[in-house]
Every structure is written in structure tokens, then in C-alpha cells.
Structure 1
Amino acid sequence: MSVLKVSSFMTQKVLTAHPDDGVRHTFFRMREDDVRHFPVVDNDNRLVGIISDRDLRRPEWVDEAPDISHIYNLDDDLTVKDLMSTNLVVAHTYESLYKVTKVLIEHRFGALPVLNKEDELVGVLSATDLLQALEMLLTEQKNNK
């Protein structure tokens, strides 16, 4: 069996957010597009962060609010750059699914941005993509019995 590469299973249609997008707008885009993560790109289309639906539903700073009655309202006064993760962990197209799966499990991520050899954003590898790879492997195994 050949090594399964990220490039074979990643989602190539990359929906992105911009650092200056409002968080309310971004939240509703995620719901509309049925995704849970947006890679965040700057004006030069370089990857600068990632934002998840969890970041938008309950940012960490809400738990640190000095006033316990503080309510977090999702509005566009906050922008993606205020909540996005910038400590990026990425996958590359040429990496094995095995290696990247271990990274996803270790970090408890639902998806990783995928970069090519030139470090350009070319896809996203999600847990759903990995399940599709698993289904393919199990089907092959079943057919080889």
C-alpha cells in the first residue's frame, strides 16, 4: 500500500476570513457555508491565523472578565484578528496522512490549514476528510478479503 498524502484528501476549495472581518459576520458565514474553521489570510493572501466556531462562540477572554455578570455579545465591533489563533500548526501537501493525523489528535484540532512547498495556502484538512480516507481504507480492506 502506498503512503497516503494530505494532498489526496484535503478540501481544496478554501474559504477564508480576513483579519478585519467582523466576528458576527464571520460566525454567520461559517453557518451559511457549513464549516467550523476559516484560515485567516492577509491582503497578500498569506496565512496569518485560523479562527474556529469555538473561538466565535465563547472566546477565552470571556472567562477572564473581572465582572462575572459580563455578557459576551457577538457583534462586529470585534474583528477576526481579535480572536484568531496565530500560533499556527499547519499541514503540507506532501506530508503523510498518518503524520498529520497524529498532529490533529495531539493538539485536539478539528482541522489544519494545508500549505504547498511555497508555503501558499492550498487547502484545509479536516476530521471529515480523515474519515473519508478511513472509509476508503476500510473499503479496500473489505474488498481484499
Structure 2
Amino acid sequence: MLARDVMTSSVVSVKPDTTVHDLAALLVQHRISAAPVVDEDKRVIGMISEGDLLRRDEIDTEKKPHRRSWWLEMVGTDRGAGAYIRSHARTVGELMTREPVCVDEDATLADIASILESHHIKRVPVLRQGRLIGIVSRSNIVQALASAVAEESLPGSSTSDAEIRTMLMGKLAGRDWAFPGRNIVVRDGVVHLWGAMWSSDQLDAMRIAAQRIPGVRSVEDHTVPYPIMPGI
């Protein structure tokens, strides 16, 4: 399987001039922990995550300075400046990790797994001709593995898994109840739905949309109810 077969295509990205406060709101709104940073041409120039927002002056989590050795004072190698930037930066461009690791849409899952492991990262942007088209996370790979194990014995289909997924994403595009490209894996003609669902109607609509795609053998539901916070 390739990156394009499992990637989340409905990627939430931000610009370098996005404010830190707007970024925090986006992460909460879309229930994600990180986002690619792109320029005007959709080229990835950085990555920003919730980890970059942990030490902030606004919420009194700024890392407190400690007494420095006299020789650090002399040579000027103290890292206090970096900590100050992380806690006081106003825009994503001032906080983001620059020159992030990216993969092409034709990258194999084996290559992506190696990249995630060797770079100690949880996700990687997917590019087509240098422009952002999706993102592959560790959970996408685990979902692909679970789907492959479940369907190892099924015979092949005349319609490829990639074609089925593309057609399904096309049917779901623009529908508020759907999540095109997010937590959808197609293996041997079986559509696997993952993630959290708000309602049984949402799940039924997803299942019906998938079953109408030529070549789909069945739809497997791996979703869980979306957690509701107490008091809401």
C-alpha cells in the first residue's frame, strides 16, 4: 500500500502568519494535535504541534529561567532565548519546525514507517509535485494493518482499492457528515471505517455511500461513539 491509499486528504493546514491563538482554536475545533504550515503555493514549509504550545506566558506555563554557569554567560550558549521564543511568539512562523520531513504520494507504508520511527515523529505530510495533498499518521498505518489482517483471505476485485477509495472520497466531498480521506482504508474491496462518529445516521450514511461504489464487497465498521464531555 502507498501513502495515497491511507492518507488523510482533508488536511487542516495553517499559514506562517497564523496567530498562536488562532492555531490553538483550530487544533481544538478539528480535534487534531498538529498541522502542516504551507505557503501561498501549498508547499510545506513547516510543522506545528500542540507540543509547541505547552510553554506559554498567557497561561503561566512558561519555563522558568535557572541560574547559569559563569562560562555559559561568557560564551553565550544559553538556550534561554529559544525558551522565550516558544513562550512569547505571536505567529506560527516563529514557532514552527522548519524543513519538515515529507513524503511523496507514491511512498510505501514500509518507507513511511521507517521515517516515522527514525525521526521520532507521529505524522508526515504527503506531497504531489511538491504540494500538500494529505498527511499520514501512525494511526493511519495501524488502521491499514488492522484492515489487511481482517481481509487477507478475500479474493481480488476487478476494481482496485485505490479506485474505490478515490470514488468514495469523491462522493463524500463537501458533505458535512462525512470525513473524506480521514480514517478510511480500502483493502481487497472492503471499506474499513475508523474514528469517532457523532450518530448512527452518520455511520449509516457512510456505509450506504461506500456500498454504492462499484467493486465494494462489504463495509467494516471500526468506529466508536464520539466522547461527550460531562456537563455538555
Scaled to the shorter chain, the TM-score interval is 0.7 to 0.9
SS at match of 2:116: helix
Instruction: In structure 1, list runs of 5 or more residues that go unmatched.
Output: none
**Which residue is 1:56 aligned to?**
53
Structure 1 residue 112 corresponds to structure 2 residue 137 = no
* TM-aligned CA distance change 1:107 to 1:75, over 3 Å: closer
Structure 1 residue 131 corresponds to structure 2 residue 128 = no
Structure 1 residue 38 corresponds to structure 2 residue 5 = no
The TM-score with structure 1 as length reference comes to 0.81
- For the Cα contact (< 8 Å) 1:25–1:76, is it kept in 2? no
The percent of aligned pairs where both chains have the same amino acid is: 28
Larger Rg belongs to:
2
CA–CA distance in structure 2, aligned partners of residues 6 and 76 of structure 1: 36
Structure 1 residue 122 corresponds to structure 2 residue 133 = yes
CA–CA distance in structure 1, aligned partners of residues 4 and 55 of structure 2: 32
- For the Cα contact (< 8 Å) 1:40–1:50, is it kept in 2? yes
- For the Cα contact (< 8 Å) 1:37–1:52, is it kept in 2? yes
SS at match of 1:113: strand
Structure 1 residue 93 corresponds to structure 2 residue 102 = no
Q: Could you tell me which amino acid in structure 2 is paired with residue 27 of structure 1?
A: A
- For the Cα contact (< 8 Å) 2:45–2:99, is it kept in 1? no
Shift of 1:76: 8.5
Instruction: In structure 2, list runs of 5 or more residues that go unmatched.
Output: 57-61, 67-79, 155-232
- For the Cα contact (< 8 Å) 1:23–1:76, is it kept in 2? no
- For the Cα contact (< 8 Å) 1:9–1:129, is it kept in 2? yes
CA–CA distance in structure 2, aligned partners of residues 77 and 87 of structure 1: 19
**Which residue is 2:25 aligned to?**
28
For 1:74-100, what per-residue CA distance to the aligned partner results, in whole angstroms no more than 9, with x for missing partners?
999611011101131011110100111
User: How do 1:64-83 and structure 2 match up within 5 A?
Assistant: 67-68=65-66, 78-83=90-95
Give the CA RMSD over aligned residues. 2.7
Moved more, 39-48 or 75-84: 75-84
